[in-house]
């Protein structure tokens, strides 16, 4: 089919924080409808909307209690239908989350499943009896959950544990059970028949679990974070081929898998090689932690680990090209804001614009995350009440309440990486509640909304927003469209410790992307190419400089 998605520019919407149309403090579907004009103005042509299904919202909708209904927080089915129709009129495609690994514990399948060992829904989930070790009742394995603690939860009713690799309110589905697979297939068909254009497949790497044998990891933690026990196992590919054959291949859609749990390029290729008929592309997480963040001393500034970041980009770009398709992105709703993570507050505009150049001229379908296009930053967390993420509250319970970690230390430690960083309210204007709605929002608003907001950046000619618009326009609508979409990627000056350079070439056209990933000025020798044109520059250069300024980025047509 058309493979339209190769020429797409995606935009991820965290619906709860995006735009509140009915003034109840929660973003909603009609809020997205209101902002379709803005999205067209930005220039994107694909949106990924985070879950809006019925849910008790333990994990903001990744805990679904009814896959066939819209949460009343967000609207109803008629709103979704209207959104699909209006977006399509504007040539914007829509993908949604297909949540495959788990349901909410309030889903009726689980309500049934936990009733008795012979309930017809028992095998929809993964149950196992307790072990007795040293006379004490213990979980079936010592595996950790991604959200802290054990990946098992005890259920008194039947004296067994159920698996939950995320929160205790999110029991894992048992994919070995063909009935479960059939249910998911029906859910996928239902949404595709409503007219959506594809899926982001949530936590897809984790559908297969290995045998229930203890991890032998030598760590001091009680529960061992050996994610390989339930990540990227061969059986996942069988499940995906079945989904592909029975559903995906029957529609002209795109599928993007989220492959966490330390996926390698080799793993990714198994998901995205077209001949294997599984997925179109995957999101990997390799580039998400390329700085001194985890082990920096108090007061030390965050700094990009340039060699590591370059190596990772190169590995994924070169490793997949010609063999499958790629997805490129800086962050999603599970990572810190890129402007805070890799940007530099002293050179804010320059560094944020440079990061955009660095990423979005690479090969693959880009996805920006709402607010990234205006340079939204991490907020300041002052107390545990500022956090909304269930995983932070789990860790707080274990580290502070049970193991007596100093609460301030804890907050300092998690502030850098918490998923809440990306989930603050979208900053539309400098009006009350940042223009999100007329009621107090469900989550924090970053204090900097009076200076970082969409309205002001539309008016400001040199804003980050306009810079993003230029990149999107060059990528989708200019004479460079094909070279950026299909061009071969080649890294240059591989060993350079500050500069990241890459060439893209396609049918005689060549573009060269040059980024200074540091605040230091850098002199570069002859580039080795004849410059035809400056396509984009974050310092508004009319000529290529001999010395590159702090965080300078320049895109050239060369021959
Ligand atoms: C990945 C999602 O991006 C994340 O937000 C969620 O908590 C887990 N999967 C569980 O669904």
State the catalytic residue, choosing from 28, 155, 202, 334: 202
| Centre of ligand 1 from the C-alpha of residue 397, in Å | 20
Confidence of residue 489 (pLDDT cuts 50, 70, 90): very high
Task: Tell me which residue has its CA closest to atom 6 in ligand 1.
Answer: 62
What tokens appear for 311 in the block?
A: 């190596």
> Does residue 261 surpass a pLDDT of 80?
no
Task: Tell me which residue has its CA closest to atom 5 in ligand 1.
Answer: 334
**What is the average pLDDT score of the chain?**
96
For 12, residues 6+ apart whose C-beta sits below 8 A from its C-beta are 47, 48, 50, 329, 332, 333, 367, 368, 369, 370
* For range 271-288, the mean pLDDT: 96
What is the per-residue pLDDT for 1?
A: 59
CA distance 256 to 15: 19
Task: Tell me which residue has its CA closest to atom 3 in ligand 1.
Answer: 334
Ligand 1 atom closest to Cα of residue 147:
7
What is the per-residue pLDDT for 235?
A: 98
> Does residue 285 surpass a pLDDT of 80?
yes
Q: DSSP readout, 503-526?
A: EEEETTEEEEEEEE-SSS-EE---
The C-alpha torsion from 264 through 270 and 274 to 276, rounded to 10°, is 180
507 vs 302, 480, 484, CA distance in Å? 40, 11, 12
Of 56, 203, 283, the one to substitute when testing ligand 1's pocket (max ligand atoms within 8 A of C-beta) is 203
| Centre of ligand 1 from the C-alpha of residue 153, in Å | 18
What is the per-residue pLDDT for 263?
A: 76
* For range 487-514, the mean pLDDT: 97
| Centre of ligand 1 from the C-alpha of residue 62, in Å | 6
What tokens appear for 403 in the block?
A: 């193991």
Q: Which residue has the tokens 């990528």?
A: 475
Q: 142: buried, middle or exposed (CB in 10 Å: 19+, 13-18, 0-12)? A: buried
String of b and e for 363-376 (b: at least 16 CB within 10 Å)?
A: bbbbbbbbbbbbbb
Task: Tell me which residue has its CA closest to atom 9 in ligand 1.
Answer: 203
What tokens appear for 305 in the block?
A: 């680990």
CA distance 279 to 269: 10
Confidence of residue 20 (pLDDT cuts 50, 70, 90): very high
For 142, residues 6+ apart whose C-beta sits below 8 A from its C-beta are 150, 214, 215, 222, 223, 224
3-state secondary structure 323-336: CCCCEEECCCCCCC
Query: pLDDT, tens digit, for every residue of 182-227?
Result: 999 999 999 999 999 999 999 999 999 999 999 999 999 999 999 9
Task: Tell me which residue has its CA closest to atom 4 in ligand 1.
Answer: 334
CA distance 203 to 145: 13
Residues recorded for the chain: 559
pTM summary value: 0.97
For the chain, first and last CA: distance in Å?
34
Planar angle of CA 535, 280, 467, nearest 5 degrees: 25
> Does residue 2 surpass a pLDDT of 70?
no
97 part of the active site: no
What residue ranges line ligand 1, CB within 6 angstroms? 59, 62, 166, 202-203, 258, 333-334
What is the per-residue pLDDT for 262?
A: 75
Q: Do 61 and 50 form a contact (C-beta atoms < 8 A)?
A: yes
Q: Which residue has the tokens 């009742």?
A: 137
CA distance 363 to 376: 25
For 110, residues 6+ apart whose C-beta sits below 8 A from its C-beta are 103, 104, 121, 124, 125, 171
Confidence of residue 350 (pLDDT cuts 50, 70, 90): very high
3-state secondary structure of 86: helix
258 part of the active site: yes
Residue 271's H or E segment, with its range, is: helix 265-272
Residue 198's H or E segment, with its range, is: strand 198-202
Confidence of residue 293 (pLDDT cuts 50, 70, 90): confident
Q: What percent of the chain has pLDDT above 70?
A: 99
Residue 242's H or E segment, with its range, is: helix 234-246
State the catalytic residue, choosing from 172, 258, 267, 420: 258
Ligand 1 atom closest to Cα of residue 59:
7
Task: Tell me which residue has its CA closest to atom 2 in ligand 1.
Answer: 202
| Centre of ligand 1 from the C-alpha of residue 240, in Å | 19
Of 50, 60, 62, the one to substitute when testing ligand 1's pocket (max ligand atoms within 8 A of C-beta) is 62
What is the per-residue pLDDT for 399?
A: 93
* For range 248-273, the mean pLDDT: 93
Instruction: Supply the DSSP symbol for 427.
Output: -
The candidate with the shortest Cα–Cα distance to 558, out of 493, 483, 494, 497, is 483
| Centre of ligand 1 from the C-alpha of residue 484, in Å | 30
Q: Which residue has the tokens 């993007």?
A: 256
Confidence of residue 299 (pLDDT cuts 50, 70, 90): confident
Ligand 1 atom closest to Cα of residue 166:
10
* For range 320-349, the mean pLDDT: 97
Share of the chain residues as helix, strand and coil, in percent rounded to the nearest 5: 35, 20, 45
* For range 353-382, the mean pLDDT: 98
Distance of CA 434 to the CA centre of its chain: 24
* For range 85-109, the mean pLDDT: 98
């Amino acid at each position: 089919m058309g493979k339209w998605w190769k020429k797409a520019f995606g935009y991820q919407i965290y619906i709860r924080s995006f735009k509140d149309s009915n003034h109840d403090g929660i973003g909603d579907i009609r809020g997205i409808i209101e902002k379709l004009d803005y999205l067209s103005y930005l220039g994107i042509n694909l949106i990924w909307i985070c879950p809006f299904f019925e849910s008790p919202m333990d994990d903001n909708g990744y805990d679904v209690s009814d896959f066939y209904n819209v949460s009343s927080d967000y609207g109803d089915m008629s709103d979704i239908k209207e959104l699909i129709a209006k977006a399509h009129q504007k040539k914007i495609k829509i993908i949604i989350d297909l949540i495959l690994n788990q349901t909410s514990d309030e889903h009726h399948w689980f309500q049934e499943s936990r009733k008795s060992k012979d309930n017809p829904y028992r095998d929809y989930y993964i149950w196992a009896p307790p072990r007795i070790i040293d006379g004490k009742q213990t979980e079936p394995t010592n595996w950790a959950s991604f959200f802290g603690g054990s990946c098992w939860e005890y259920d008194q009713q039947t004296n067994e544990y159920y698996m939950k690799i995320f929160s205790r309110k999110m029991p894992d589905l048992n994919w070995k059970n063909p009935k479960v697979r059939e249910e998911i297939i029906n859910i996928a068909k239902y949404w595709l028949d409503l007219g959506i254009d594809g899926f982001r497949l949530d936590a897809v790497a984790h559908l297969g679990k290995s045998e229930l044998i203890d991890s032998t990891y030598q760590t001091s933690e009680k529960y061992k974070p050996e994610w390989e026990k339930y990540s990227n196992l061969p059986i996942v590919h069988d499940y995906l081929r079945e989904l592909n054959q029975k559903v995906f291949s029957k529609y002209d859609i795109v599928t993007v898998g989220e492959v966490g749990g330390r996926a390698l390029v080799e793993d990714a290729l198994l998901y995205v090689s077209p001949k294997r008929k599984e997925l179109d592309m995957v999101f990997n997480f390799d580039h998400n932690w390329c700085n001194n963040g985890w082990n920096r001393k108090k007061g030390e500034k965050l700094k990009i680990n340039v060699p590591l970041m370059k190596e990772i980009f190169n590995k994924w770009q070169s490793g997949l090209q010609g063999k499958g398709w790629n997805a490129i992105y800086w962050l999603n709703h599970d990572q810190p804001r890129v402007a805070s993570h890799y940007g530099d507050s002293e050179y804010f505009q320059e560094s944020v614009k440079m990061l955009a150049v660095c990423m979005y001229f690479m090969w693959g379908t880009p996805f920006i995350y709402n607010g990234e296009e205006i340079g939204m930053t991490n907020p300041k967390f002052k107390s545990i009440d500022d956090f909304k993420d269930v995983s932070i509250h789990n860790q707080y319970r274990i580290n502070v309440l049970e193991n007596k970690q100093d609460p301030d230390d804890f907050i300092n430690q998690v502030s850098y990486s918490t998923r809440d960083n990306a989930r603050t309210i979208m900053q539309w204007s400098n009006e009350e509640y940042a223009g999100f709605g007329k009621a107090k929002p469900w989550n924090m608003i970053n204090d900097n909304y009076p200076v970082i907001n969409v309205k002001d950046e539309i008016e400001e000619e040199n804003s980050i927003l306009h810079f993003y618009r230029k990149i999107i326009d060059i990528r989708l609508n200019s004479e460079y469209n094909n070279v950026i979409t299909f061009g071969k990627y080649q890294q240059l000056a591989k060993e350079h410790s500050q500069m990241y350079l890459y060439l893209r070439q396609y049918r005689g056209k060549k573009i060269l992307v040059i980024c200074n990933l540091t605040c230091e000025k850098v002199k570069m020798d002859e580039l080795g190419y004849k410059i035809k044109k400056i396509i984009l520059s974050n310092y508004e250069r009319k000529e290529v400089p001999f010395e590159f300024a702090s965080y300078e980025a320049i895109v050239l047509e060369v021959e």
